């Protein structure tokens, strides 16, 4: 993505007057830094988790195995690796106004068409996938990772289109805002995030073990056997809501192990089968004893436990994430991390049964990231209003 951005900006530089390039380069740098601040609420938590521990990454795929039909690309939202409804309208109808856009805008539009063609199954990947250079970049985990480049080109073209087609036209701008707002609201129905959350609420325990007969719905944990996908439900071993899904959205198959801490990934069998260790003794937690909630998971254990013994729960402990752990309503301060990368508790009192809850409080510094992003957006809005006010004064 960084390389694509560099190519993007360098190509645009060739269209600028030589005397203006230094000033434009400085403005691009300021815009880049400011964009990072605006999006800090998104990439900040991901950066914290990625820097706090070594995470498992998706396996590389051959580039020619990923291209899909144009309908598939255009029917998926940005949350699910597609371009979204608003940019789709810009891509389709923007071509009618191509002559009214500056040369740079046209360059961006045609670049988006080329990128979309290359990512689709219309491109003859089967003829060139063996080229060594292409084999060397398969670490990007297939072609859909290049979708942001397509989005970047369309967004650039859309900016020029709005600046030329709707410049100083109050009615046109108002209509555009209304249509864009309706598209934005409607786009939530196309969101992969939306469908995942609904599916989770409606069917928190997917115990269809007969699905192991479908290879694509299983994860090959070891060379000798496979784990049923139903055992790999997110709520079985990590927070099953926004705190996890907003960072690393996964919904099926082997993706459920993507971005697990490497330490925990080595014990995927234990996690999938809900294996708990009490004072060295192993046992499996029954599905009925699990109670997922909003960014939380509660265990109802009917197992005698003595004070001072150690309980290793099959719940991944992400470094960099804030948690609140309670044992029969009493908060446990600073729970430890086991050698499985899971929560390890010291039993505070002797009991015959216990309710243990783990509540995720979000990534560390999440409040700071949110505040900086909000201040950045407010500052951008204020700057726009000030410039508009000054422009009116100058005209008067």
| More confident call, 386 vs 80 | 386
d(CA 63, CA 143): 6
Decide: pTM greater than 0.75.
no
d(CA 44, CA 128): 38
> Exposed, middle or buried, 234 (CB in 10 Å: 0-12/13-18/19+)?
buried
Cα torsion angle, 288, 329, 319, 295, sign = positive
**pLDDT over threshold 90, residue 350:** yes
**Residue 129 DSSP code:** T
d(CA 36, CA 353): 49
* pLDDT number for residue 185: 52
| Residue with the two structure tokens 């004064």 | 393
What are 26-63's pLDDT values in tens digits?
887 888 888 889 888 878 888 888 888 888 776 666 66
Structure token pair of residue 182:
């309706």
- In the chain, which segments carry CATH 2.60.40? 207-364
Cβ–Cβ < 8 Å for 275, 231: no
d(CA 208, CA 173): 51
**pLDDT over threshold 60, residue 229:** no
d(CA 71, CA 148): 17
What pLDDT band is residue 336 in, cutting at 50, 70 and 90? very high
**Which one of 2.40.160, 2.60.120, 3.10.590, 2.60.40 gives the CATH number of domain 207-364?**
2.60.40
What are 125-136's pLDDT values in tens digits?
777 767 776 665
* pLDDT number for residue 42: 78
Q: For the chain, report the end-to-end CA distance as a whole number of angstroms.
A: 45
> What are residue 227's DSSP bridge partners?
219
Structure token pair of residue 150:
């397509």
């Amino acid at each position: 993505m960084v390389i694509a951005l560099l190519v993007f900006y360098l190509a645009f530089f060739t269209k600028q007057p030589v005397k203006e390039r230094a000033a434009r380069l400085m403005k691009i740098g300021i815009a880049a830094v400011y964009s990072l601040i605006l999006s800090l609420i998104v990439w900040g938590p991901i950066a914290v988790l990625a820097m706090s521990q070594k995470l498992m990454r998706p396996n590389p795929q051959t580039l020619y195995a990923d291209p899909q039909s144009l309908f598939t690309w255009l029917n998926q939202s940005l949350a699910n690796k597609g371009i979204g409804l608003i940019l789709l309208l810009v891509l389709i109808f923007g071509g009618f106004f191509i002559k009214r856009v500056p040369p740079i805008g046209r360059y961006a539009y045609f670049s988006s068409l080329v990128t979309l063609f290359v990512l689709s199954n219309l491109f003859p990947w089967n003829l060139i996938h063996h080229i060594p250079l292409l084999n060397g970049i398969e670490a990007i985990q297939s072609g859909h990772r290049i979708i942001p480049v397509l989005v970047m080109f369309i967004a650039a073209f859309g900016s020029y289109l709005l600046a030329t087609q709707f410049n100083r036209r109050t009615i046109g701008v108002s209509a555009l805002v209304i249509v864009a707002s309706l598209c934005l609201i409607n786009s939530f129905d196309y969101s992969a995030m939306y469908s995942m959350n609904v599916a989770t609420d409606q069917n928190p325990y997917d115990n269809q073990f007969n699905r192991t007969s479908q290879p694509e719905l299983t994860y090959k944990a070891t060379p000798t056997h496979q784990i049923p996908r139903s055992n790999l439900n997110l709520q079985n071993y990590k927070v099953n809501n926004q705190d996890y899904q907003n960072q690393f959205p996964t919904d099926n198959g082997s993706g459920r192990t993507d971005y697990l801490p490497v330490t925990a990934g080595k014990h995927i069998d234990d996690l999938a089968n809900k294996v708990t260790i009490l004072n060295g003794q192993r046992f499996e937690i029954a599905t009925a004893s699990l109670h997922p909630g909003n960014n939380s998971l509660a265990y109802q254990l009917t197992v005698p436990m003595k004070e001072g013994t150690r309980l290793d729960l099959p719940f991944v402990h992400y470094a960099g994430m804030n948690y609140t752990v309670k044992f029969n309503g009493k908060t446990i301060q600073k729970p430890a991390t086991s050698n499985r990368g899971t929560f390890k508790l010291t039993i505070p009192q002797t009991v015959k049964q216990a309710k243990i809850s783990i509540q995720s409080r979000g990534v560390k510094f999440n409040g700071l990231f949110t505040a900086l992003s909000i201040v950045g957006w407010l500052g951008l809005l204020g700057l726009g209003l000030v410039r508009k006010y000054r422009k009116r004064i100058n005209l008067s």
